[in-house]
Chains A and B, each alone.
Chain A
């Protein structure tokens, strides 16, 4: 069971492109982005370590069950609702950004609302399934797509137009101190562990998660490739002119001997599956948290819940909300909103880790 933890973590690392992480980082490449990324590695690694360690006294329990035991009702319900909406927003941001990318680069004629409805339907039906099924799905999708992503990275690192001088120039700005925005944006890479809030229900005593130190190491690799490869391709100044900088980077490459010649198509289709997976996972976790805020009974592990209407309705209601708010925002405003959301997410993530850490201490003291 414990290997499923890593799939969720890896998923969050790969998906950073769809949450505009590289764009925000590159905006600040001269003022502290490099230092901010190093700080994010430290903070993200620490958070992951603390969170997983603190969950250890609660085998087979998710956050809703832990909160039910230790927190008063008045604190528990708003907290769960807030967390659920934050989770939901993560999937929502990915959905909106990626549907825009698809419309712009793959099907310019498509009606974006219809496309979003299709993606919402697919993700919501799957997200309403059981947590176990979603982990199985995550495993299949990640295992089949990692080789393609690896190919993409290796291809781009050794590509003839990759300008290592630009990379060196930007890395000289390492001494500039970072601000909160850079750290919180960069730390998104490490946030996959937080999905254990619900998936911990299926992790029992014997599924002790080891090898946690590997998260910061892979994270450094992912962060630096996601930041430096576009800079190498487009130059220190030119990189700023792109909105979806990674799509343009993928479009700068071609595979001479591949069946699909232009890398952008492979990139978009690979990221389509990964984004769908990300949306499914985040919406499932969010809906489970919200469902538990309203339910009177404590969650118990039954044989297998297959498809839960309650989850589906919660997800549909929230995604309609998501489409409605979008109507009043243009692309630029949405960009600002998702930036603010990333900062808010970082603060609340640290808060959540602190709460769980405190509860974990409390639980192990009681024993």
Chain B
């Protein structure tokens, strides 16, 4: 774990060049050595990457830890067209440096915690002391101190640990890899948690709109970004309701649309021998499996999987009379719309939510779909992210928490 050059410059070189023993002690202390009196603590120090030096009857420990992955990588998940292109690094100090150099107010505060019994992961709390709410800070501090876990390795794991609900579906904290989003959120009085060894940051509190906003919204012309936001919400509604609406339309009220359209749909379903919900489940299972597979596969095979799955299988399934061609269009519309949601955790939650809606549609048709959407809105309105209302219209009146309100 030790860095050889550090070891050489901090210990070997002074040891050889010093004239007296006192001078070497002096030089050790200058390089940040700490005098250790408790022999039991030494093991712990060594596992943290320190070097222990016994000199003149005293024991010192010097931090010579080799830091890996200091280089920030290219953005992998939250792409933007124009805007910063580098994501966070895996090293905590490098990340703090990156944020510090983007946010130069002296009110930026850092607090360090060590979490995990075995992993002893360093966790850093970043906030603007002027803007962050004291009450919220106290709650988060208490929460961090109460976490008892053996191994802590990722930001997502920390999010689940911070979330006091046992069965959670919707993310109430935002995971991001973009330094510009972190800085923007700090400037809005939010609190950021960084983790050693993870290139993601946790931002809290986060409300529904935060998950639907991309950083591009800030970097583009007003009408362009507004148009894109509206597009995103339409896509959200489509990905949630299309399968449920299809089932309701086919199995309950085919007379809802005009005759021509109904006839087209019925015609394309002519070869399909079973009820509509079977078709929906069949295609949705395939597309979910495809998404999951292309995520796990190495990059180079991933594109093959999508081609085979998407093009060939879809075409063949329709020709074999297993599913209607309308259903193929619908499935791809659902999948594409789902990827429009900018933050991955929210898009995963929405991927799940469409299934309860499908079940309601199977049982009650349009009534079930509309009632299910009503319940979803009510449920989201009932959620709180650290006492901030999760879903609420005109959120700007309380606090500008959307990125498109830069101050």
CB-CB nearest in chain A for B255: A262
A176 contacts B by Cβ under 8 Å: no
The interface stretch among A155-163, A299-307, A356-364 is A299-307
A179 at the interface (CB under 8 A from B): no
Q: With a 10 A CB-CB cut-off, give which of B258, B382, B393 has the most chain A CB atoms.
A: B382
A63-90 Cβ-contact flags toward B at 8 Å (1 or 0): 0000000000000000000000000000
* B391 within 8 Å of A (CB atoms): yes
Report if B55 contacts A (CB, 8 A). no
Closest Cβ of chain B to A94, distance in Å, is 14
A317 to B112, CA, bound (A): 51
- Contacts A119-B371, A273-B374, A277-B374 given: A140-B381 contact, CB under 8 Å? yes
For the complex, what is the distance from the CA of A61 to the CA of B303, rounded to whole Å? 61
Contacts of A130 in B (CB 8 A): 382
Known: A119-B371, A129-B382, A272-B370. A260 touches B256 (CB 8 A): yes
Report Cα–Cα, A132/B398, bound state, in Å: 14
Listed residue (B366, B367, B373, B392) with the most chain A CB atoms within 10 angstroms of its CB:
B367
B378 A129 Cβ-Cβ under 8 A: yes
Binary contact readout A257-273 vs B (1 if CB under 8 angstroms, 0 otherwise): 00111100100010011
Q: Is the CB of B389 within 8 A of A139?
A: no
Q: Is the CB of B370 within 8 A of A269?
A: yes
Say yes or no: is B368 at the interface (Cβ < 8 Å to chain A): yes
Nearest CB of chain A from residue B238's CB, rounded to whole Å: 13
Closest Cβ–Cβ distance, residue B392 to chain A (whole Å): 5
Let me know if A152 is at the binding interface, CB within 8 A: no
Interface size class on chain B is 20 to 34
Bound form: Cα–Cα A149–B298 in Å: 52
Does A106 contact B392, Cβ atoms closer than 8 Å? no
Given the contacts A106-B366, A107-B364, A126-B382, A304 and B387 also touching, CB distance less than 8 Å: yes
Q: Per DSSP, are chain A's interface residues mostly helix, strand or loop, or mixed?
A: helix
Q: Contact at A132–B365, with CB atoms within 8 Å? A: no
Best-buried of B252, B371, B391 by chain A (most CB within 10 Å): B371
Closest residue to A138 on the B side, CB-wise?
B381
Residues of B within 8 A of A136 (CB): 381, 389, 391-393
Minimum CB–CB distance for A271 against chain B, Å:
10
Question: B392 contacts A126, CB within 8 Å?
Answer: no
Contact B375 A125 (CB under 8 A): yes
Which of B253, B377, B387 is the one whose CB lies under 8 Å from A141?
A: B377
Residues of A168-183 whose CB lies within 8 A of B: none
- A306 CA to B380 CA in the complex, in Å? 12
- Is B252 a contact partner of A137 (Cβ separation < 8 A)? no
Counting from the closest, the 9 A-B pairs by CB-CB distance are A126-B378, A136-B381, A133-B382, A129-B382, A261-B258, A137-B381, A133-B381, A136-B392, A137-B378
Measuring CB to CB, which residues of chain B are less than 8 angstroms from any residue of chain A? 252-253, 255-258, 363-368, 370-371, 373-375, 377-379, 381-382, 384, 387, 389, 391-394
29 contacts between A and B (CB under 8 A): A106-B253, A106-B366, A110-B364, A110-B365, A110-B367, A118-B364, A118-B368, A122-B371, A125-B378, A126-B382, A129-B382, A130-B382, A133-B382, A136-B381, A136-B392, A137-B377, A139-B393, A140-B377, A140-B391, A140-B393, A259-B257, A262-B255, A262-B256, A265-B256, A269-B366, A269-B370, A272-B374, A273-B370, A304-B387
5 additional contacts (CB under 8 A) given A125-B378, A136-B389, A265-B256:
A119-B371, A136-B391, A139-B392, A140-B377, A265-B366
